Each structure stands twice: as C-alpha cells, then as structure tokens.
Amino acid sequence: MHRFANPTRFLRLSAAILPWSAGLTIVLMAVGLVTGLMVSPADYQQGESVRIMYVHVPSAWMGMLAYSVMAISSAVALIWKHPLADLIAKSSAPAGAAFTFLCLVTGSLWGKPMWGAWWVWDARLTSMLILLFLYLGYMALVSAFDDPARGAKAGAILALVGFVNVPIIKFSVDWWNTLHQPASVTKLGMPSIATPMLIPLLVMALAFHAYYVTVLLLGVRAEITAAKVRAIRLTQVHE
C-alpha cells in the first residue's frame, strides 16, 4: 500500500486511469439507460415502473460500497498512518452520500405505485436513511476542526463505528419481515430476475462503479492540491 503513498506517484497513476474511467462511465451509462428504459421489457406485475430499478438498485449498491471503502480507508489511516487513506475516505463520502440520496428518492418514487405510500418505516429504508445521516455526519465532523488531521481522525472513528449499519442494510430483509423485496441478483444460486432485465441492470451497475472511481480519483487529486496549497501558505506565514 505504501508504494502509492507518494502523492506524486498517485497523481501520475490517477491521471492515467481517469480518461478510461470517465470514458467507461459515459459509454456504460448510455448503453445502460437505453437498454434499461427502451429495450428491456416491462414487468408483468409492476409494469413500466420497474424501470426505476435500473437507477435505484445500482445506487443502493454504490451507497453501501462507498461507505465500505470509507470505513476501510479510515481503518488503514488509523492503524498504518497511510497518508492517502484519509483523503480516499474524505473523497468517498460525498459520492456515497449522493448515491444513498438517489437510492432513497428513487425508492420513494418506486414505492408509491407499489406500496401506495411515498415512505414507510421499513427496515431496509430506515437503515438506508441512517446511512445517509452517517455520510452527512462524517462530512460535517471532518470539516468541524481547524486542524485537518484532528478532523480526519474524528471522522475515521465515526466511519468505523457506523460501518455496523452496512451489514444491517444488506441482511435487513432476511432478519425482519419487511415490505422490501429480498435480494434477486446478489443471492445464492441463479438470480431470479429475467436475463433481459438483468443485463441492463448489470451494465448500469458497472457504469455507477466507473463513475465512482472517476469522482473518487478527482476528489483525492483535489485534496492533494489543497494540502499543497495549505503547506505553501503555512511556509509563507513562518517566513
């Protein structure tokens, strides 16, 4: 891991990855939206409203993935003092919060025709809402300190404590009797979703992953630049 701790090396590596991840985001997003909204069939029970799935499900996956990355990076920062780990966690938070918010909004839009209500205090929905609050709390806590190192440490502790919510989200439909349908893709055995629907869903998931990589790299690069600016200003003050 420490091979990539050098900011200059990271900037060079990320500059090589960014065009590919950005290009993949555009291509996969276009293919996923076209196939999901125009090519895939409507569901025999849910009708055309099932097309919300192609945004809702990948955003839910990415909300949990981004928080997992944030928690793992926070652990690496606290244990091994990796100089870029805090920056990865900090840059992951806004993207994860956006994914989680999108998941909640699309879930509400999907829930209205299916359940007859915009919102229910379902275990899955409630735990996703808690995830959004964890993201917002992390970002507020990191920014609350004048010393970036103290803010990063406080945020890392919160990220690790809040990680317990991720498996709760994942297994909430198995542990409690909820309105939310159980897993139909990430389950043991074959997915229960039809192939013409599964393919665009997976394409959209890949598009969301590529987008996340893109914004994460851009965020870390911005944080490195901001750290260099702070170091220059601090040097000028001491001079």
SS3 labels along the chain: CHHHCCHHHHHHHHHHHHHHHHHHHHHHHHHHHHHHHHHCCCECCCEHHHHHHHHHHHHHHHHHHHHHHHHHHHHHHHHHCCCCHHHHHHHHHHHHHHHHHHHHHHHHHHHHHHHCCCCCCCHHHHHHHHHHHHHHHHHHHHCCCCCHHHHHHHHHHHHHHHCCHHHHHHHHHHHCCCCCCCCCCCCCCCCCCCHHHHHHHHHHHHHHHHHHHHHHHHHHHHHHHHHHHHHHHHHHHHC
pLDDT value at position 72?
A: 96
Give this prediction's pTM: 0.90
pLDDT value at position 235?
A: 73
Count Cβ atoms below 10 Å from residue 73 Cβ, excluding itself: 22
Task: Give 74: exposed, middle or buried? Use CB within 10 Å, 0-12, 13-18, 19+.
Answer: buried
pLDDT value at position 188?
A: 44
Contact (Cβ atoms closer than 8 angstroms) between residue 231 and residue 149: no
pLDDT value at position 147?
A: 86
Tens digit of each residue's pLDDT, the chain (239 residues)? 556 567 888 999 999 999 999 999 999 999 999 999 999 998 877 888 889 999 999 999 999 999 999 999 999 999 988 889 999 999 999 999 999 999 999 999 988 887 788 888 888 889 999 999 999 999 999 999 988 889 999 999 999 999 999 999 888 776 666 655 665 555 545 566 888 899 999 999 999 999 999 999 999 999 999 888 877 877 766 66
pLDDT value at position 171?
A: 84
**Which of 176, 83, 170 lies closest to 123 in space, CA to CA?**
176
pLDDT value at position 121?
A: 84
Distance CA(208)–CA(103), nearest Å, equals: 12
Render pLDDT for 19-30 as a digit per residue (tens, 0 to 9): 999 999 999 999
The correct answer on CATH 1.10.3470 for the domain covering 7-11+17-37+49-183+193-238 is no
- Which amino acid belongs to residue 132? L
